[in-house]
Amino acid sequence: MAGIDFLRPELVVAEREITSRKRLFEYLSALISGVKLGQDRTIDQEEIFTTLHDRERLGCTALGQGIAVPHGRLDGLVDPIMAIVSLKDPIDYDAADGVPVWLVVCLLVPIEASELHLNLLASLVTRFEDDRFVVAVKATRTNKELYDLFSAPSTP
CATH number at residue 64: 3.40.930.10
Residue 39's pLDDT is what?
57
User: Is residue 53 annotated as part of the catalytic site, yes or no?
Assistant: no
Return d(Cα 152, Cα 46) in angstroms, integer: 32
Residue 27 · residue 85 · CB < 8 Å: yes
**Within a domain: 156:** no
Q: Which domain holds residue 13?
A: 4-151
Residue 145's pLDDT is what?
96
Q: Calculate mean pLDDT across residues 32-37.
A: 76
Residue 113's pLDDT is what?
73
Instruction: Say which of 11, 24, 66, 71 is annotated catalytic.
Output: 71
Residue 85's pLDDT is what?
97
Model confidence at 122: pLDDT above 80? yes
Residue 34's pLDDT is what?
77
pTM over 0.85: yes
Return d(Cα 156, Cα 134) in angstroms, integer: 15
Model confidence at 53: pLDDT above 50? yes
The structural domain count of the chain equals 1
CA dist 128 to 26, 111, 131, 143, 154, Å? 25, 25, 7, 19, 10
**Within a domain: 114:** yes
Q: Calculate mean pLDDT across residues 11-24.
A: 96
